[in-house]
Structure formats: structure tokens, C-alpha cells
Structure 1
């Protein structure tokens, strides 16, 4: 049976996971953004190999955290860079991905504007390492690497980072890569390789680098690829309506046999018209499930979990707000998006004017219900710069550090461009305080003596749902309570402080404390005199 995913309402159920979750729930990485060098452009892809984070995109320089473009410590990097995953510091690896300037009045998105209708498309759009970590493959719009012809696909030897002799001529862009022990699979917008017809899909032998006979066809762009857990299929995502002439739209699978014959696939994403459709942006897999992300135009743009053998749907998340990137870490699916309404999800948030998008999310990979809860992990970025103002564009991790790339220029409301990272509790500590508290209000209830009523509103913490609130009269704690605190549902709280002597004057403040002792104080209340 063929299924097209649309916006489906599910019954919400609760979950509480964070950096200090309830028993049996997955632990997230912290929401503390760790010090990381920045770029002056967009990061489109990240590949973690051991303790190295390789990044590709459209940028000219990298610079230290906390600095602005043009900083004296800025160093050149042309669309490729590498960093120590544990420190965020740059590594010496500095190949240059280059393009050839051309004249156009309507270039594709992401090209560099040279002025006078001159453009250069040199971005690196995808990075994938070989399973053994001995090679790094890159795809994109570039046509040269370090001055040598590498038309839209190239490879580097690891760990030394030297350019591999692997070289082919693809006549249009690469957008997706997948690598097995024996083959490199490429997808994108190309229709010929070295003069041989290949309709947006192709494979190369990892041992010889030669173009293979694997030649399935897609009628439109392929943006994402992943090899199934058993190695028998390549799962595909993108804009296409058909693969090898077969539906569904946006998702499909082909065998890893000699020619890429079609594999059964049950689930597609929405297509209503050319202006109202979804497409798949990223694919990742664990031992038994493929996860997909989507972008839609008034259509599905959340996340899916699918059986890799036949494409049957396992769960669906209907958050609204295009999803661009996915990564899996310790039973949690992390995503980069501009989610603005997750009210259909357990523990999901509604549309909020004061919090217009939550661009980083976490969900359990194996939820107990047919739709996953939104876990309490809420670091955030802004929407950033051109070309699309989408914020996060790339995610990857090495089991300890989760790296995020994109077009953002701020993380957790602090300036940070293009790159950031987060750590598991095994390599870092949770040091981020709850968000600021407003000043409490005080009053003397009518008909009472010696009593002050203190009112305040909850705050929230980016990676801990349950907070302790302490009420202080002057410097003395007079009341302690705990409460579940979420940014979209901050509740009023109140306490009556009794037994105060007539004529005395008091001020009050609130402090909110997360499970790790990180504390935020409210401003002190106005003084109140007891009548």
C-alpha cells in the first residue's frame, strides 16, 4: 500500500527527558553552547570522523568565538574547514573548493554575487566519510579543489587530508551522498557523468574510483541518501516525483545491485501542486529504522521514522516549520528546523509571538506511541542570513559532541555565526542557568494582619523541565517549591508570608534553581510595610 504523509493529528502524551530526566527516559546533550570557531557564511554539511569535525559550505573565513567578521584573528578557509571536535579550535586542513565565474540574471540560490550579473557557484553541499574513516567525500557546486579539476565531487584521504585522485565530470550539482564499504552513491541535479547518462543518481567504486553501472533514475532533484542498515538498499529523498518511473513523491529506495533496481517503498510526502508540496531534506539511519526530515509549502515539514525494508511508516511528527537536518545520538533524534508549532506533539509547544521558532529539537527514536514527544532540550539559534534565513542547516555528532551548522548568526541569544556545538554529560557539565525571572509583586491581602502576598511568574530552563523556586524575604529563604516549567506555558505562582510584625518593612526576591544548582535571581520586589 502506498501512503502519502500529510498533516495528521495524534493524541499527545507526556515525556520529560532532559539532562536530568526521569528513570527510563533518554538523556539529551546539554543546551550549553560550547566555545566554537565561527564562519562568515553558511555551513551546509558536517561530517564527524573521530575527534575531527569537517564542515563544508559557502564561506571565506573562520574566526574565534565571540568575535565579529573581519577580526584580526580571522583566517581564510574556502568552503571547507576542519575543527577539533572537543575544543572547537581549527585544524590546519585548508583545501579550497572553487568555482568558475559566469554571467546570469537568475542564478541558483547559494552562489556568490560578484557584481554586474557575475556569479560564482562554489559551495560544498554535502560531506560523507567512508565507514572505515579513511576517506572523506564531498559534493556540491564547485568545479575545482586546490586548483585541480574536481567537477562537483571529490575525495580526501584521511587522516592526512590530502586530495585523492578520485575525479569525475558531473554536469550539474551534487546534493546528496551515501557511502558503503564498496560504493559511493551520489544524488543531485546532474544528468551526465564523464559524458555518460546518469539521471540524478550514480555510484562509484570505492576501490578504483570508477563510475559503476548502478544507474537508477530520478525525475527531479535528489537531496538526501542513506544506505539501509543491511546494506541492500539506498534510501532516497528529495524533490522527485518518481524513481525508476515509480512513485511515491519525495521518498523512495533502490537496491544496491549492479544497476539500482527499484525496491518496495510505501511512504511518500505531500504533493498537491507545484506550489504546494513537500520534499525530503535529510535521511539518517540506526540499526533498524530510517529517519527522514521534510520541508513543505503549507504541507508536511516535520520528521518521519520508516521501516528501511519497505518504507512502512513507524511514526510521524507533525511540527510545522521546515526541517533541514537530522542526527542520531544515544536514542535521541536531534533536528534543525524553524519549528513554530508543535502543538500536535506530546509536550509540544503552540505558535507563540514571543518565541517565533524553536530551531533545535530532540525526540526519542523509539517512542511508545505513534508520534514522539518533544523532549525538553531547547537551545536555539536565530534565522540568520541569506539565502533562506532558515537557521540550522547541518547536524552531526561523534557520540560525545553534537555539532550544528547553518546560516544563523546567534546561538542562545549570543552572537555566533555558522557553527556551534553541544556536549553530552560525559564530556561537559550543565552550567546554563534558567532564563531570567521578572520582579515579584507584593501586596497585603485585605482583612489580614502580618501577611504579605507574593506573586511571580515561572521562568524556564533550556535543558531541565523541573525547577526549584526559592522565595527570599531579604536574605532568608521563607518558602521552597518545585514546578514543571516550560517556555510556552509559564504559570503564575503565589505564596502568603505570614506572622510578620506590624510596622516592619520587607522586600522579596525569587531564585530559580535547576537540578545542577545553576541559579537565576529575580530583581528585588518593591518594599512593603506591614500595617
Structure 2
């Protein structure tokens, strides 16, 4: 009797990517609609290689052939923030209706991922706006924006200069070119302006013109107006239709994926500070009349300098919590509490602070500190009391009766480098003779004595400097035109070697304006092999250190100059009075063209310090009293970014229901950029209902992470537990698992877990020839030529004593026979289509398995030759032991094409055993 193996199905069938589940995510709404034409409007799973993991989105599968993905929707109050607005779940679950009036928009990174590498200006259908055309939402206007030149996504439709449009189509009629800020064919239904407007209560949206009828102040009107101004803002949906139908996913190595982390950008949210500084001594407005101009950190104290008049606790202090303390104060670095014992007395503002090992050096416009002599413009203070440190002196003078302004300090080794407005410097103990040093000098860290051999001469004030960490040079920025009689337009690089000469071989930097009096430099920072500089007009640029070759540049508008910078973990932050837009890769403020994209910048921007790429997800929630913004940035050892200026508002505090109060300065602390640990013991626990996968939990500093399951070349699911079942495995697969935290940091994955598709060649109920008569058959009975025609036959399970046998063998009387013999024939057309045989044997007690006369496995029997009376090693006493199959994995090459003889001898442990069991199931793995 022969068993014929059924030819196997393909090892891996194609996935039906209809978007109905995460493992069936489509490349785009368009791809789903093309492959499954009956798809209706609704929520679908989408995934591109750039999206990494499948996510759910709302798809319009009806309009103009369908295939549109919803990016955002809402009425008035759009922020146009690149990080998005509200949550993706709000967008897909409430795509329309009055419940969708509060604007929500996908993060820009998500939109770029949905584009899958397609440029925005290459979208065949442009960007689609669906605007309500009446106040009941029963009539709609269809707009198509086609961009003239835009590589990646940006939400700043209100940017000025404007995002250019090559065409604007309304309800199928092309009205020619335009822009996203304000397009108007006529001032009614054929107008779209996106910028905030005072008559709208400073709310943004996709506004109509003044002649558009039907506007209402009603909360349920699809055409909203603030009062009676007209220009209604309609409920609007924003869609794109990337026509992506194919993509290549990188193959995952069997060792797994490496850990990945998000850019280590500080948080967009401020951490609360109870105290601050307020008021401006003598009043006045403008850049030299700000609460905070400088910050310094020593130990667990932050020192704040500027032109403030008071220290103050909270926005509405009790009388005892508002103290007259001018120009300089100290606060606890962790809690923000005012250190009331630090009480220096100055008569002018502080421009810079340099913390030394056991003292705090300050620089500014003061003529003395605590009435001490020789402290004009600079002094070293006791960090606890503010007393002038004995024996440490530096003092400055300036010709023509002009006030001394020492504006910049930076330590390098044994020297403090100094810049500002002065002509002579004396210092040390005893006090040295005056050294002629015009606008720049260096003094010893040990006692403040100036170096008489290092005396560069600038023809105008230095505003900022940065002493290279490599020790060979110092960068200067300011309003000067010459250094040491040589041309140096607002920026100079001077050797630290005497006699303070310009470093040769450097190129010229590129001013952003032709107005020479308006191209001064206010900030400079060396980071690795790059040099960042910024100032007027409104530019922030990066150059190579070795020869000053321009790498990238950025222009801020409508806003102001770059005025401070700081680097943390490879990210450089630039501060400015610029709460609107930054135009990346632009070089000219006079004529801001040729930019690659425009994004929001909110007082502080973040850039990759080496590539110069702008990081638009950093958009801190802070505000400024007069609009002058932060004039100082400083990092602490905890990775927090401190900022100071005329800052008066921090982030929203949900607990109090209001914005945090800032007294001149604030801090933004680091976000989570550490990957979780790798999940351990990734394993297959079963195949009932699919491939059952499990793993040991990973650890993460932010709490319990989620897990991404990867199959073959992509992520197919995300779960919060430590197990998951691939309910539709569709054949042979490779799996990995990795942890992901809320910030988007991913652990390294597990090594591969291979789960192969199988074809069943034999089931437990297969028919066998058998003999159980106590006769020693020797060894020939296992071969292909043995004549078993006289044997009995029957289906499995075969045996006696348990009551579940399909074929009962004669158990006889005790002592019983030692061995039962079984044979069958398995017909396999082509063994090469299989990799391995998975032989699952039910046995009681011991057994040897042969294929075509060759032993391929034994269980519960000793090594060496097996005789007909060799007892099994163990007698199984529990039903579970007897019913649990033993698996043998055998190369499929053990089979031949055609008939194969499978032979099994089953041995009892003793001749008084009450039962005997035998059955066999054979699966074959597919390549």
C-alpha cells in the first residue's frame, strides 16, 4: 500500500495589499484603488519604504477616480506647523463634519513618507483643497495647487516670500499661476489667502475673499467669520494623490536591523521655572535694553546677566518675592530658585559670563563691581556671594570718553579671549601697565593679566567670538571692516599664536545683503570641522573650517538677525528675533529666491551641525515680550538648552490651563534619543491559527516600549505585548522583532526567526503494514526489496491498551513480544522541491525509523546495534509522554523520486507493558 504525496503549493503567495490590515498595507491609496477597484472611502493601512511602519490614513476612493490621502482638515485656527497639529487618529477618524472643525494636520515627516520620494512639484494631481462653499457644508469647491518648485513637504502655505504655484485650478478651470499665501482671481470665491489677519482674530485658514456670501459666526457654520469682516474661512480638507504603485524594500540581513534613534533635539516644551528677572534699568527699547544678555553655569548654579532691574517669583509676586537686584543674579540650576546670597552690585549691564574653575568672570558696561577698583568692564566674582575675587583683576579703558563695552568672553586653555569696544586693558596682581588692544584681547585665567604680545586691532566693535576647541584660532564677529590694517568684513579668524595675525588660506564668507553697513556678524560657533555664523541681515550660514567654503545658508523672514548659537549633541541652535519663517538654502535677504523649502522658526531654530540641514520638527512653544527674542543660548550638563532675552512666555501648562511664565529666560530640556534594549528569546510558540510569535520584554528609560514585528522585508505590525500571531502567514517567512518607544527610537532587532512553509506528505492516519509475532526479522525488513505482502495492514494509530487505536494489534498474554514492525510506501514525485522532512512520531516506548533501509532517527533506545529484544530505555507511564510526538528533522535528500520505503520498529520497555502506540506524521519544508 503506497501513500502518494500531494505536490506542494507555492512556498510564498503574493500578499493582497488591500490596506485592510497592517500586514496588507498598500503603498498608497491610489495603489489600493487600482488593484481593488471596489474599494470605498474610508480608513486604510498604508506603508512606503520611507514610512517604515504601516499606519492608518483616510482615503477618498471616489473623487476623480479616487486614491487621495487626507493630510489635514479644519476650519479656522490652522497653525501650519511642520510637526503637525493634533493627532493622526483625529484626522482619519473625523475627516469631515462639524466635529472636524478644529484643525488637525499630519506631521510633515509623515507627509514626506507618504510621498515616497516623489517631489511635491512632481505630483501629477498637485495638492487638493476641498473647501466648503456654503455654510451648511452641502456645496464644495475643488482646488488644485500645482507647485512651481518644491522638493519636500512644508505646511508653511502662509510663508512670505511665497510658495510659488505653476497653476491654480478651481472646479476644473485653470486660472494660471499663483502662490499659496494669497491667490486671487477675484476677491470672492476665487481667492485663497492663508496668512493670519487681525480681523480674523489672528487665525489662519484657507480664506475666501470679501464678496463670498454666507459667512457666519456660528460654531456650526462651514463658512466662519470672526465678526462682520467677511472673508470667511471655510472648512477645508487638504489631500494629495501620490500615484505610487511599486517600491523596493531593502532586504533585512539575518542578523537583524541596527538600532536607530531620533535626532537628539531638545524638547519643544519648556520646563517650569519659578523665578526670573524683570524690568529694564532706565527703561529704553531695542537690542541693548533687554532683561537678559548672558548666561553662565558653574556647578549647580546658573548666572543670569543683562539689564534687568528685579528678580521676581512668578508673574504675580508677593512684595517679598520681587527684589531690586540689578544686572546680575544667580539661580539654582535644577529648581530655578533664586540664590539670595549672591548679591553683587554693578552700575551697568552684563554682556557675557564665563565660568572658571572656582569663580565667575563677568563682562559688560559697568565701571565697577561692589565699588572695587580696577573692575571696569570685567571682574571675577565669588560664585556664592558675588564678592570680587582678591588678586584677580582685569580692567578696560576706551579713548574719546566712550563707554567701555566688553561683550564676549571665551576660555581656551590658560587664556580668556575677550571682544567688545575698548582700547586698553590692564590686569593681574600687581596690576600691569595698560596694553593697547583694540576691541580684542586675551588675559590669563589665573589672574586676569593681559598678554602684551597678542593684541589684534579691530577698527570697530567685536560683538561675539568663539575660541576653537582645537586651540589654534579664535573666530570674531562684529561691525568691523579691518583687522590689523587688513580687510576683514565683519568676520575674522585670528591665530592664537603671537602676534595675533589673521589665519591665511581662508575664503571669504558670503554676506546676505549688498548693504555693507547691514552685514555685521553677531554669532559664531565652531562645531567639529564646520563653522557657523549669523547676524544681519537675517542669515545663518555654515562653512568648512579648513578653508571657509560655504556649505549651506538660511535666511529668516519676516523676522530678524541671528544673534546667538549653541551646539548640543551634533545639533546647532540659532536664536533670532524671527517668529515666522526660515528659507533654507537661500543666500540673499535682499532677494530671497532659490530656496529649497520654507519652514516655521519660532525664536530658536535647529540645524544639523555638520550638514547644515534645517530640522523643522523643532518648533519651541515660547514667546518674547517685545519681539527681540533670545540673545543668549547655553547648554548644561543635562543636555538642556537655556535661552535668555526678553522672553516672557513658555509652553502651555495643561495643569494650570495656561502658558508658563518666563522671567527673561527659560530652558528646553533633552528629549528621549536612546534606543530600547533588544527583545530577547524571539521564538515560535505554535502554529495554531497562524505563526504564533513570542519574545521577552525589552527595557527602555521612558517606560514599557511597543514592539514592531518585521516579516521578510518590512514591518507588518506593532503591538504593546510580548506576543503576536501572524494569522495569514502565506508560506515560508523570516521574522524579526524590535522595540520602539514613544519618541520613535528603535532597538536593534532580534536575529532572524525562520518559519518555513510545509507540505504534508503523511498523516497520523496513514495505512501501514505491520507484524507483531515475536519473530526476529533481522535487518532486511527495512529495505525497499523486502516482501511484506504477508503482513497485516491498517490505518494509524496502531497499537493496543489505550482504547484510541484505529488499528488494534494483538496484545497477547504476558510476557508480551518485545518488538512490533511497521512498513509503508511513500510516493514522492520530486524530492528536490523540499528542503527537510519533519517526522513527528508517536511512540510507546522506543523506536527506530528507517527510510529506504537507512536509519534516520531513533528515540528512547540505546546507541549501537538494535536487536529484536532490545528493551526501550524508559517505560512511559503518563499519557502525555505517550501522546507527545518526537520530531526528527531529516534532509529531503533521503527520499528518491517515486516510491520510498518508510520502516519503523517499536520496542517495549518490558514484556509486561499494558500498552503500545505508534503513528507518524511527515511534513516537508519548502524552499
Q: TM-score range by the shorter chain?
A: 0.5 to 0.7
Query: 1:89 and 1:54 mapped to 2: Cα distance?
Result: 12
- Contact residue 650 and residue 666 of structure 2 kept, 8 A: yes
1:348 to 589, 595, 598: 598
Q: Are 2:527 and 1:286 equivalent residues in the alignment?
A: yes
Q: Are 2:420 and 1:188 equivalent residues in the alignment?
A: yes
Residues 23 and 426 of structure 1, relative CA distance in 2, 3 Å threshold = closer
Q: Are 2:424 and 1:197 equivalent residues in the alignment?
A: no
Q: Are 2:367 and 1:143 equivalent residues in the alignment?
A: yes
- Contact residue 58 and residue 123 of structure 1 kept, 8 A: yes
Query: 2:513 and 2:629 mapped to 1: Cα distance?
Result: 27
Query: 1:76 and 1:305 mapped to 2: Cα distance?
Result: 42
Q: Give the match for residue 266 of structure 2.
A: 29
- Contact residue 608 and residue 614 of structure 2 kept, 8 A: yes
Q: Are 2:48 and 1:48 equivalent residues in the alignment?
A: no
Q: Give the match for residue 397 of structure 1.
A: 635
1:332 to 556, 561, 571: 571
CA displacement, residues 371-414 of structure 1 (integer Å, 9 cap, x when unaligned): 412331212433324xxx41211110114221111012223454
What SS does the corresponding residue of 1:421 show, helix, strand or coil?
strand
Q: Give the match for residue 463 of structure 1.
A: none
Listed as ranges, the gaps of 5+ residues in structure 1 are 1-9, 17-21, 100-121, 351-356, 428-513, 518-531
Alignment of 1:161-172 (within 5 A): 162-164=387-389, 165-171=392-398, 172=404
Q: Give the match for residue 175 of structure 1.
A: 407
Larger Rg: 2
Query: 1:65 and 1:287 mapped to 2: Cα distance?
Result: 40
CA displacement, residues 170-220 of structure 1 (integer Å, 9 cap, x when unaligned): 322111112112111111111223444221111112223212121111111
Q: Give the match for residue 311 of structure 1.
A: 548
What SS does the corresponding residue of 1:54 show, helix, strand or coil?
strand
Q: Give the match for residue 83 of structure 1.
A: 331
Q: Give the match for residue 220 of structure 1.
A: 460
Q: Are 2:377 and 1:152 equivalent residues in the alignment?
A: yes
Residues 93 and 179 of structure 1, relative CA distance in 2, 3 Å threshold = farther
Aligned length: 377
Query: 1:227 and 1:11 mapped to 2: Cα distance?
Result: 39
Q: Are 2:334 and 1:94 equivalent residues in the alignment?
A: no
1:259 to 496, 499, 509: 499
Residues 12 and 230 of structure 1, relative CA distance in 2, 3 Å threshold = farther
1:417 to 660, 663, 672: 663
Query: 1:58 and 1:25 mapped to 2: Cα distance?
Result: 38
Query: 1:274 and 1:342 mapped to 2: Cα distance?
Result: 21
Residues 14 and 251 of structure 1, relative CA distance in 2, 3 Å threshold = farther
What SS does the corresponding residue of 2:623 show, helix, strand or coil?
coil
Which structure shows the higher helix fraction?
2
Query: 2:616 and 2:584 mapped to 1: Cα distance?
Result: 14
- Contact residue 15 and residue 375 of structure 1 kept, 8 A: no
By how many angstroms is 1:14 displaced?
Answer: 7.1
Q: Pairwise CA RMSD of aligned residues?
A: 3.2
Q: Give the match for residue 562 of structure 2.
A: 323
- Contact residue 542 and residue 550 of structure 2 kept, 8 A: yes
By how many angstroms is 1:61 displaced?
Answer: 1.6
What SS does the corresponding residue of 2:269 show, helix, strand or coil?
coil
- Contact residue 269 and residue 279 of structure 1 kept, 8 A: no
What SS does the corresponding residue of 1:163 show, helix, strand or coil?
coil
Alignment of 1:456-467 (within 5 A): none
Residues 260 and 419 of structure 1, relative CA distance in 2, 3 Å threshold = same
What SS does the corresponding residue of 1:292 show, helix, strand or coil?
strand
- Contact residue 599 and residue 616 of structure 2 kept, 8 A: no
Query: 2:641 and 2:419 mapped to 1: Cα distance?
Result: 26
Residues 160 and 33 of structure 1, relative CA distance in 2, 3 Å threshold = same
- Contact residue 511 and residue 519 of structure 2 kept, 8 A: yes
What SS does the corresponding residue of 1:86 show, helix, strand or coil?
coil
Q: Are 2:246 and 1:246 equivalent residues in the alignment?
A: no
By how many angstroms is 1:417 displaced?
Answer: 2.7
Query: 2:438 and 2:461 mapped to 1: Cα distance?
Result: 9
Q: Give the match for residue 720 of structure 2.
A: none
Query: 1:425 and 1:295 mapped to 2: Cα distance?
Result: 31
By how many angstroms is 1:334 displaced?
Answer: 1.5
Query: 2:524 and 2:359 mapped to 1: Cα distance?
Result: 21
Query: 1:31 and 1:167 mapped to 2: Cα distance?
Result: 40
Residues 515 and 348 of structure 1, relative CA distance in 2, 3 Å threshold = farther
- Contact residue 316 and residue 372 of structure 1 kept, 8 A: no
Q: Give the match for residue 63 of structure 1.
A: 312
- Contact residue 509 and residue 550 of structure 2 kept, 8 A: no
Query: 2:354 and 2:581 mapped to 1: Cα distance?
Result: 32
CA displacement, residues 73-122 of structure 1 (integer Å, 9 cap, x when unaligned): 123422111222222222245243422xxxxxxxxxxxxxxxxxxxxxx0
By how many angstroms is 1:269 displaced?
Answer: 5.0
Query: 1:383 and 1:295 mapped to 2: Cα distance?
Result: 20
Q: Give the match for residue 351 of structure 2.
A: 125
Query: 1:23 and 1:11 mapped to 2: Cα distance?
Result: 28
By how many angstroms is 1:157 displaced?
Answer: 4.6
Query: 1:268 and 1:219 mapped to 2: Cα distance?
Result: 19
- Contact residue 326 and residue 395 of structure 1 kept, 8 A: yes
Alignment of 1:464-475 (within 5 A): none
CA displacement, residues 222-243 of structure 1 (integer Å, 9 cap, x when unaligned): 0111111210111111111122
Residues 15 and 247 of structure 1, relative CA distance in 2, 3 Å threshold = farther
Listed as ranges, the gaps of 5+ residues in structure 2 are 1-148, 156-258, 280-290, 399-403, 427-433, 586-595, 652-658, 674-740, 745-927
- Contact residue 343 and residue 385 of structure 2 kept, 8 A: no
By how many angstroms is 1:294 displaced?
Answer: 1.2
By how many angstroms is 1:156 displaced?
Answer: 2.5
By how many angstroms is 1:12 displaced?
Answer: 5.6
- Contact residue 222 and residue 239 of structure 1 kept, 8 A: yes
By how many angstroms is 1:246 displaced?
Answer: 2.4
- Contact residue 138 and residue 154 of structure 1 kept, 8 A: yes
- Contact residue 178 and residue 227 of structure 1 kept, 8 A: yes
